[in-house]
Amino acid sequence: MASDAVLNFTDEGFQADVLDSDVPVLVDFWAEWCQPCKMLTPTIDAIAEEYAGRAKVGKMNIDDHKQVALARNIQSIPTVLIFKNGEVAQTFVGIAAKDKITEALDAAM
């Protein structure tokens, strides 16, 4: 079960929620059928709780919202992108360690 702090990003809201955000944004591209994505979920949940109020942390289901995944050339999932000022500041493909992700998120602050 996802944490309440984890946002759900959509194709329709991506510009406003992610690109136009005044705080760093972590986007986890995932799908329901992806086992490694499920393994990464507790890490994303923990980061969302830890960074509540300082950064946006959310997930984007690539099966439900394909436009952004295609536009961003997401070829493998899970892929985690950290955005700062509308630009990708860091990319993680596959299961990344929590400390590596939080280090990148801190750098984007």
Query: Does residue 46 carry a catalytic annotation?
Result: no
Whether residue 24 has a cis bond before it, omega within 30° of 0 = no
Catalytic residue, candidates 2, 31, 34, 46: 34
Given the residues 7, 26, 37, 47, the one annotated as active site: 37
91 vs 42, 53, 61, 83, 105, CA distance in Å? 19, 22, 17, 9, 11
> What does 36-76 look like in DSSP terms, one character per residue?
HHHHHHHHHHHHHHHTTTTSEEEEEETTT-HHHHHHTT--S
Instruction: Decide if 62 is catalytic.
Output: no
Give the residue numbers annotated as catalytic, written as ranges: 34, 37
